[in-house]
Amino acid sequence: MEVQETRIQTDRVLTIPNILSMARLVGVPVFLWLILWPEFGGPNSDGWALLVLALSGVSDYLDGKLARRWNQISSLGRLLDPAADRLYILSTLLGLTWREILPLWLTAVLLARDLVLLVMVGVLRRHGYPPPQVNFLGKAATFNLMYAFPLLLLSDGSGWISSLAAIFGWAFAGWGTTLYWWAGILYVVQVRRLVRADAMAD
């Protein structure tokens, strides 16, 4: 992540990138419901859950690309895009942990990183800095996790496809978790430097 200000190019709310981000947010409870439905006596809906997750990945790519290409970067978009990413990761963690596809320790490791960043955001705000912008490393971490989760969901079955999905799913989960924490540690270092610079300026 980078602590910097992105140039706002529009104050409009109903832009195509923002609508895509809003649609991703609407998909979060739908996705979680589809994952957990079998746990409450409903039919297995993993296929539909995978479809929702795939569509969210496509929209995640398109909203940022279109915002830059059409000069539609907005304050709302800066909030919606990372919020949708975090909520999809959180809902997937909850759903897969509930179904015992993900071990509790991995969920705790990923949630602990988000808790650290939440504290750092509070530190930034107290010093008058804006929320952080996601850099390439943070996006790469999210990319790996968003590949890992559907593969791990697909692995909850039998046959060679499930076995292959488990191998690649755990590989992406390992890379994603490592990058997730790496990006978080770099962010903490950046925040410390800013706080120290402010203290020296005073």
Per-residue pLDDT of the chain (202 residues; tens, 9 = 90+): 444 444 555 566 677 777 888 888 888 889 889 989 888 888 888 888 888 888 887 777 777 777 777 776 766 667 777 778 778 888 888 988 998 889 999 999 999 988 988 888 888 888 777 766 667 788 788 888 888 888 898 888 778 888 999 999 999 999 999 998 998 898 888 888 887 877 776 6
Answer yes or no: pTM beyond 0.75: no
Contact between 100 and 35 (Cβ < 8 Å): no
Distance from C-alpha of 195 to C-alpha of 81, rounded to nearest angstrom: 26
CATH of segment(s) 16-201: 1.20.120.1760
Contact between 90 and 102 (Cβ < 8 Å): no
**CB within 8 Å of 71: residues ≥ 6 apart:** 9, 10
Residue 2 pairs in a beta bridge with 133
- Joined together, the tokens standing for residue 47 give 């296929």
Distance from C-alpha of 136 to C-alpha of 183, rounded to nearest angstrom: 9
Q: Which residue has the tokens 């076995």?
A: 163
Half-sphere exposure of 113 (CA within 13 A, CB side): 23
Does an H or E element contain 45, and which?
Answer: none
Neighbours of 190 (CB within 10 A): 17
Domain spans, the chain: 16-201
Q: What is the pLDDT at residue 131?
A: 66
- Joined together, the tokens standing for residue 10 give 């529009």
Q: What is the pLDDT at residue 174?
A: 94
Helix, coil or strand: residue 188: helix
Distance from C-alpha of 194 to C-alpha of 199, rounded to nearest angstrom: 9
DSSP-derived letter for residue 20 is H
Cα dihedral sign, 36-42-44-50: negative
